[in-house]
Structure 1
Amino acid sequence: MSPERDPDATDPLHKAVGTITATVDEPERTILLPRISTDPVDELVERVRPQLGRAVDALQVAAALEAAGHTDRGAQVEYGYSDVFVLAAEVYKRLGPLSPVDEATGAATAGAGRRDGLRPVWHGPLYLLPSATFPAVLAVVGRPGLVLGLVVAGTVGWVFSGVTAYAAFRLLGSGRPRSAARLLQTAALVGTLLGVPLGLTVLPHGGLPLAVMMVCQLAYQMASTLLVFYRREWWLAATQLPAFLLGTMYLLVGGTTARRWAVAAAALGVLAAFVAALHATRAAARVEEPPARDPLLPDSTTLVGVAGYGLCSAVLLFHAQMPYLLDRLDIAAAAAPLLVSMGFVEWRTSRFRGNAVALTRRARRPEEFAAVLWRAIGRDVAACLAVAAVPGAVLLAVLAHAGMLSPAGTVMTLAHVALAGAYYLAFLLAGRGRYGWLCLSMVVVVALHVGVGGLLGVAPLLGQDGSALADTSLHLGGVLLLQVLFALGLLPVIGQVRHYR
């Protein structure tokens, strides 16, 4: 609670009346002049408004104040508040409501109510929508070179969109929505055009249809990045729903006509999503912002770390599934539980910092804080595993009913369920800038999977035609090892109170 204050100190009308009285009735009492000075909190609000006028909550304000050197002692002595968090809450309140342009950008608003806070949960099913058209696209593109095209375009899109989103969020957090919007516009066009040279490299392997598919894949990844950034998930869903329905119809009935409709809907859906994504940036791209005093983009070391994290994540997922994408449906489909649950993983990660900040006010000793925090992480990991296990069980039941389930498919599904817990820990590591540890851990796991598999003669990436069950079992063991490595990476940093105060 903030201390009681003299209303004259903040009420403009009282300031004006006090000034007139001092000037007309008692001109000699210059001692009254301090009454017309600005409230120090108002001065602070105006200083931080260019950077925090679009803050999503008081925690963001608190982080910015601490980064600027404000301490609990300073909050008490200079502003009369008990600590930085109470001061930040007052600053956030005085910043006022968001402008119409801020509302249009979407990414800058925290949203009102619990429903908006649960928005990331729906990202998982959203990520899965385009997969319904894969069989129809496969029938048109053909098998030669398809896996190569999917993996190359998917990896490039993953890395490029991840770096773009990170840089744009940093710009937005610095109070530069116009710079963020223009960066996203440029990156969307460049990222899509990257598909042209990539497509040319695979022409000898799959021809023009494969090259076009790669361009569309990159366009969709960039469009989805922009629409999620601006909280336009419903736009993305609306553009992909027709393709999902027609792709499902092709799976059920087959036929040339259904295939053509599904492929046409997929192509039009990508185009619609891309146009919608560029439209979502228009309002923010016209916002006025002050000249930049500091470099607009994060330092190159951080961007390299983000790119490396994206690349290693793509390698981790693709290296295990790539040999089975065309021939083993039960193994290829094992990624579905992870995709469906990733939205929940994002949501739990986003809630972690707020819970940790609240915990700093209750914990009395550092060791108590760390112990409670680790218990919270354990509960979140268990929740992520449980949420991923539900669609995993459904998938296994459907495949078993269709007579398509094998022991290798079961093990691969378990590996992807375990990856949900690993990615929760990975998000926490990324939030603390430990990209080096993230990349090293994933490289070690991939190397062990391929290396041990090669020694046993079961590594399909090395051209060995061994047991799929042994190969997928090695991958499951690697994912479990990855959880341990990620937890070890968190050990020296997660309990440091300075990250939350």
Structure 2
Amino acid sequence: MSHDPDATDPVSRPVGTMTAATDPAGDQAGEPERTILLPRISTDPVDELVERVRPQLGRAVDALQVAAALEAAGHTDRGAQVEYGYSDVFVLAAEVYRRLGPASPGADATGAPTPGTGRWDGLRPVWHGPLYLLPSATFPAVLAVVGRPGLVLGLVVAGTVGWVFSGVTAYAAYRLLGLGRPRSAARLLRTAALAGTLLGVPLALTVLPHGGLPLAAMMVCQLAYQMASTLLVFYRREWWLAATQAPAFLFGAAYLLAGGATARSWAVAVAALGVLAAFAAALHATRAAARVEERPAREPLLPEATALVGVAGYGLCSAVLLFHAQMPYLLDRLDVAAAAAPLLVSMGFVEWRTSRFRMNAVALTRRARRPEEFVALVRRTIGRDLAACVAVAAVPGAALLAGLAHAGMLSAAGTVMTLAHVALAGAYYLAFLLAGRGRYGWLCLSMVVVVALHVGVGGLLGVAPLLGQDGSALADTSLHLGGVLLLQALFALGLLPVIGQVRHYR
């Protein structure tokens, strides 16, 4: 599969020349030859497609945006195969995105900074992990104000709804951006942010008898923060999000170390102000794109219902997977409750390795000589990335265990739960690869099976806290760890039919 780059990229070839004479007599008379420059004409239909979509997609942020635009223009998987020789529209879009070349640095008409060509620009997702962890420092102070009754229910309900709602919103917004409609994307994001936050009101009313107004306010703030972070990441304003949450992290840490009513009040107040600041910054980020003029749409703007259901189902199952194991321990077992921290810190690294996978796979097509060699190289790449994700999560995991042991708060159940979340980093790497290929059905089915086995087997053994059983926490967390390892195997099994097909990386 090695090839000459010039043979696959006609546009990059030198301008052709030819020698011509007016007539034989002129040549015999010693007339000088005339060099005629031929225009740069590509025989590759992909080059022609690139030039057609360049005015619309010259500032595309990723291949997904290009794929959405190609689908909206009527390109199908069948057309990608027959007209261009690519297996599907997504693979064609990846090649079109590559040939479009990097966008010029700065901010485009959408208000979102275009991807730069700097050395460290590709590492931007790595910092998402610490961003995800910042608000958790305020949890002890919020717990002291809200109180124990209904707190877990409020956290889980608001977290699950926010997870699903923000995921579907981001998916739909990226589709609109891919269709070259940044104004519509901005309107959708702004409306969804307001609607998602207001959705916290009826949710809060359902738990009002269990926690009162403080719990209701916490749920609204939680949804507002999830929507605000979705918008700021969408518009690549991570620094804005960090600036609004850093004070809350510092005051929350101060309360955690020192305690006291005054420190608690300050931590809660600063956290609430941080959420308001993040929400205001998120709405402000949509302003530039909201002023862009758009032509009337001739194609459906929103994704098909099946795609939205798949994204929503994936978000719901992910939330259930994480919350069902930790929910029984959030209030009584700090070492078990804190076990999610290594996963949160490493999620940015997982995102980064996922984004690098396709580039690495394309490079492998130039190294491999036979299809079976390519399959082996791709699987080896996935294995290395999987190990790297687990190793990166293991570093904060080891630090957490060491700190809890030093404080005399570490138990065997906490250790096992931490190991389970470290393993989840690898599972989510595989999940992102599956999601990139639209295999939401397999993702959801795998997670449902793992959750059902954890709860079902735990119920048979009498150690399932979700079923009201007061059994061994070590046995319960060990079942969860086994379920996560099974989940890795199921995700890997789902990748086998598609991940090693060379046509996906042409």
- TM-score, normalised to structure 1, is 0.87
Structure 2 unmatched runs, 5+: 1-5, 7-11, 18-35, 86-91
For 1:48-447, what aligned pairs fall within 5 Å after superposition?
A: 48-56=53-61, 69=79, 91-92=100-101, 97=104, 100-102=107-109, 104-106=111-113, 109-447=114-452
Q: Could you say what the CA RMSD is over the residues aligned between the two structures, in angstroms?
A: 2.9
**Inter-partner Cα distance in structure 2 for 1:156 and 1:318:** 12
**Inter-partner Cα distance in structure 2 for 1:400 and 1:91:** 53
**Inter-partner Cα distance in structure 1 for 2:419 and 2:289:** 43
**Inter-partner Cα distance in structure 2 for 1:176 and 1:87:** 19
Is the aligned partner of 1:479 residue 2:484?
A: yes
SS at match of 2:167: helix
SS at match of 1:104: coil
Q: How much does 1:233 deviate?
A: 0.6
Q: How much does 1:181 deviate?
A: 1.1
Q: How much does 1:262 deviate?
A: 0.4
Residues 1:70 and 1:63: Cα distance change in structure 2 (over 3 Å): farther
Q: Please list every run of at least 4 consecutive aligned residues from structure 1 whose deviation after the TM superposition is greater than 4 angstroms.
A: 34-46, 57-75, 83-91
**Inter-partner Cα distance in structure 1 for 2:500 and 2:377:** 9
SS at match of 1:364: coil
Q: What is the letter of the counterpart of residue 3 of structure 1?
A: R
SS at match of 2:13: coil
For 1:7-18, what aligned pairs fall within 5 Å after superposition?
A: none
SS at match of 1:288: coil
Superposed CA deviations along residues 165-203 of structure 1, whole A, max 9, x for unmatched, are 111112212222111111111110111011000000001
Tell me the equivalent position of 1:24.
none
Residues 1:147 and 1:65: Cα distance change in structure 2 (over 3 Å): closer
Q: How much does 1:496 deviate?
A: 1.9
Q: What is the letter of the counterpart of residue 433 of structure 2?
A: L
Aligned 8 A contact 2:68 2:178 in 1 = no
Q: What is the letter of the counterpart of residue 450 of structure 1?
A: V
Q: How much does 1:363 deviate?
A: 2.4
Q: What is the letter of the counterpart of residue 404 of structure 1?
A: M
**Inter-partner Cα distance in structure 2 for 1:84 and 1:396:** 45
Q: What is the letter of the counterpart of residue 385 of structure 1?
A: V
Structure 1 unmatched runs, 5+: 8-31, 76-82
Q: What is the letter of the counterpart of residue 290 of structure 1?
A: R
**Inter-partner Cα distance in structure 2 for 1:301 and 1:90:** 31
**Inter-partner Cα distance in structure 2 for 1:48 and 1:269:** 41
Tell me the equivalent position of 1:13.
none
Q: How much does 1:285 deviate?
A: 1.4
**Inter-partner Cα distance in structure 1 for 2:478 and 2:97:** 50
**Inter-partner Cα distance in structure 2 for 1:41 and 1:488:** 33
Superposed CA deviations along residues 460-491 of structure 1, whole A, max 9, x for unmatched, are 00000000000000000000000000000001
**Inter-partner Cα distance in structure 2 for 1:412 and 1:275:** 37
Superposed CA deviations along residues 19-40 of structure 1, whole A, max 9, x for unmatched, are xxxxxxxxxxxxx9x9899999
SS at match of 1:118: helix
Residues 1:463 and 1:356: Cα distance change in structure 2 (over 3 Å): same
Residues 1:167 and 1:64: Cα distance change in structure 2 (over 3 Å): closer
Residues 1:276 and 1:441: Cα distance change in structure 2 (over 3 Å): same
Q: What is the letter of the counterpart of residue 157 of structure 2?
A: V
**Inter-partner Cα distance in structure 2 for 1:162 and 1:336:** 21
**Inter-partner Cα distance in structure 2 for 1:35 and 1:318:** 62
Residues 1:373 and 1:325: Cα distance change in structure 2 (over 3 Å): same
**Inter-partner Cα distance in structure 2 for 1:439 and 1:359:** 30
Residues 1:223 and 1:336: Cα distance change in structure 2 (over 3 Å): same
Aligned 8 A contact 1:61 1:91 in 2 = no
Q: How much does 1:86 deviate?
A: 8.3
**Inter-partner Cα distance in structure 1 for 2:503 and 2:186:** 32
**Inter-partner Cα distance in structure 1 for 2:126 and 2:50:** 34
Is the aligned partner of 1:490 residue 2:495?
A: yes
- TM-score, normalised to structure 2, is 0.86
Residues 1:37 and 1:379: Cα distance change in structure 2 (over 3 Å): closer
Residues 1:64 and 1:274: Cα distance change in structure 2 (over 3 Å): closer
Superposed CA deviations along residues 369-417 of structure 1, whole A, max 9, x for unmatched, are 1111000000000000000000000000000000000000000000000
Residues 1:407 and 1:6: Cα distance change in structure 2 (over 3 Å): same
Residues 1:358 and 1:163: Cα distance change in structure 2 (over 3 Å): same
Q: How much does 1:240 deviate?
A: 0.5
